[in-house]
Amino acid sequence: MNKGGAPIRFKHRVAVYGTLKRGRNNSHILRGERFVGTDWMPKLSLYHLGPYPGAVEEPSTGVRVEIYEVNDSTLKILDELEDFFPERPQSSLYIRRTMDTRHGPAWVYLYNRPVKTIQRLNSGSW
């Protein structure tokens, strides 16, 4: 609750870079959530995984992200979409990690598989 007694609507900040971005096929999941802004995350590389991209933490030209503030239930939906299992992250397709953005710390879903043979997207956008 905030000072006025109203429930706090948004608890988590997330940075998205693929199908969750505005106009993409999963953007409806973030409809109604608070759009904060965009950023360029220089510590990430983006890889083309077919129907969706995957970001990994490595030196790179960076990745363009959109940042949203979301509530607990939306974060859980995002975890399911990204095949992230908090209780067993080693078996997750993506892991969720906090990273710094110009809008403050945000959760980022990082691809949790080897990328050695996958096409890197040097543009940083998907």
Query: Residue 125 domain-assigned?
Result: no
Which range of 1-5, 59-63, 80-84 scores highest in mean pLDDT? It is 80-84
**pLDDT on residue 89:** 92
Q: Which of 33, 69, 80, 82 is an active site residue?
A: 82
Query: Is a pLDDT exceeding 70 seen at residue 94?
Result: yes
What CATH number has the domain bearing residue 31? 3.10.490.10
Q: Is 33 a catalytic residue?
A: no
**pLDDT on residue 60:** 86
- Determine the longest span between alpha carbons in the chain, in angstroms: 53
Query: Is a pLDDT exceeding 80 seen at residue 10?
Result: no
- How many domains in the chain? 1
What domain range is 55 assigned to?
A: 12-111
Q: What is the pTM of this model?
A: 0.90
**pLDDT on residue 1:** 46
Helix (H, G, I), strand (E, B) or coil at 89: helix
